[in-house]
Amino acid sequence: MLRESYPYFLANIPLSPNQDLPVHDKYSGEVATRVSLADSKAIDQAITAAAAASGPMRKLPAHKRQTILYHCVRRFEERFEELAEALCIEAGKPIRDARGEVTRLIDTFRIAGEEAVRIGGEVIPMDISPRAEGYTGMWKRVPIGPCSFISPFNFPLNLAAHKIAPALAAGCPFILKPASLTPVGALIIGEVLAETELPQGAFSILPCRRDGADLFTTDERLKLLSFTGSPEVGWELKSRAGKKPVVLELGGNAACIVDEGSDIDDAVSRIVFGAYYQSGQSCISVQRIMVHETHYAEVREKLTTAVNELTHGDPKDENTFIGPMISEKEAIRLHDWIIEAEEAGAILLAGGKRNGAMLRATLLENVPSNSNVNCQEAFGPVAILSSFSDFNAALDEVNNSDFGLQTGIFTRDIHKIQKAWDELEVGGVVIGDVPSWRVDHMPYGGVKDSGLGREGVRYAIEDMTELRLLAVRDPN
């Protein structure tokens, strides 16, 4: 059970000026807890504190940053079931998936602890021409300064961790706005951070209304904005961010190709996971499934059967695979898209029914290319099936999208693997698995409307640091 209420964290300190943000159990719809809500004055105070903490954070030795991150690892392990239960309740995530996310939270902080003592530099040969003889050059990375983070509802723990942990490793103070629908996990992270010897003002975690969070984007004291969420919001924030660099992890409508000669049972098993894991509410959820014509009938039959057999229901039940979507509003939106596709000629192979925020796992075929469920991000338990005869044409179809996050390809042909890696307009190509696969140390991010920059601890640290050159002349 969640506690009756949770404070926010302002300059490392828990404060409860109100309990104005109700957090609902996404399955029952009942209020599960209440959270303190920050106003613009509190956000301004947090930014002031973060700016003041820049010097102490920059001077914090690497081994101390590592110790702080490893403390978090230990405490997350000790509070494992509490974190999983909170995630299950506030996000409606099936409990087995919630435990998986807690495991990834721990991984992300552990990786950051390792990277905290690896932030190095390089010596540069300067004598590339006669005029530069007698000069020595080198560079190092220095923290960029106070960072602004905005995290989403679908991975409330691990996607917050992908901002917090690299910032701590790099020596950057930060302010974080967690999603209003799922703030509890981030606040528990705040409780653990408050146990450490971080300098005063090193972190603030402030749930707030979207219309009150303008300072997260516009304040010039903040030196980086990292946002994960919808493309519409992300690009709008970038337009208002001013001089600061912006990292955007946005949406997708990820494709998965099943080529001739693939292990069909393996591919179907992984596609079911990739398309319907946590009710498809992942930006790399399998949305478009393209199957070589020689295997299409078999995949169609096996996939339809597997989708129809998925267990829907209470996310607290250990056997549940499909829980509720984040809200009834989102379930209605996606259900309307399904109906729209059917009216345009699509065939419903599985699912298609809705009850409140619960949407049955849905599989469609013959979906018109201009249907929302094909060309937009579904962000729910819906996938569409189509066939192809030419691999190159399938690659073209993958690229025929406003998005470009990750693609999964089941093939055993090394030449096709190389061609896909060369030609697909995506941030990552996954061979022998679904695009939904991610390990938390790898570079992760997209192109086109899927965003800017890369996460994954080492790569986030690059964004949170700047290069500083030293050139030395020997006058002798």
Instruction: List, by residue number, the catalytic residues.
Output: 249, 283
The answer to whether the beta carbons of residues 319 and 311 sit under 8 Å apart is yes
Distance in angstroms (rounded) separating the CA atoms of residues 162 and 101: 12
Distance in angstroms (rounded) separating the CA atoms of residues 10 and 348: 50
Residue 445 backbone dihedrals phi, psi, to 5 degrees:
165, 180
Kindly report the CA angle at 112 between 111 and 115, in degrees rounded to 5? 90
The answer to whether the beta carbons of residues 163 and 155 sit under 8 Å apart is no
Instruction: Identify residue 452 by its one-letter amino acid code.
Output: L
What's the length of the chain?
476
Residue 121 backbone dihedrals phi, psi, to 5 degrees:
-155, -155
Note every long-range contact of 69-73, with CB atoms under 8 Å and residues 24 or more positions apart, other chains counting.
Answer: 69/109, 69/110, 69/112, 69/113, 69/116, 69/165, 69/168, 69/169, 70/109, 70/110, 70/113, 71/192, 71/195, 71/196, 72/109, 72/165, 72/189, 72/192, 72/193, 72/196, 73/106, 73/109, 73/110, 73/113
Residues 6+ apart with CB under 8 A from 57: 143, 171, 172, 173, 198, 199, 202
Q: How far is CA 228 from the centre of its chain?
A: 6
Edge-first strand order for the sheet with 21-24 is 5-6, 31-35, 21-24
DSSP-based three-state secondary structure for 432 = coil
Distance in angstroms (rounded) separating the CA atoms of residues 251 and 375: 12
Hey, what are 292's tokens? 């070589």
Strand-pairing partners, residue 471, are 137
DSSP-based three-state secondary structure for 404 = strand
List helix spans (H) across 284-380: 296-308, 328-343, 372-375
The answer to whether the beta carbons of residues 372 and 253 sit under 8 Å apart is no
Instruction: Identify residue 56 by its one-letter amino acid code.
Output: P
Distance in angstroms (rounded) separating the CA atoms of residues 446 and 249: 7
Nearest alpha carbon to residue 406 among 318, 285, 302: 285
The answer to whether the beta carbons of residues 176 and 203 sit under 8 Å apart is yes
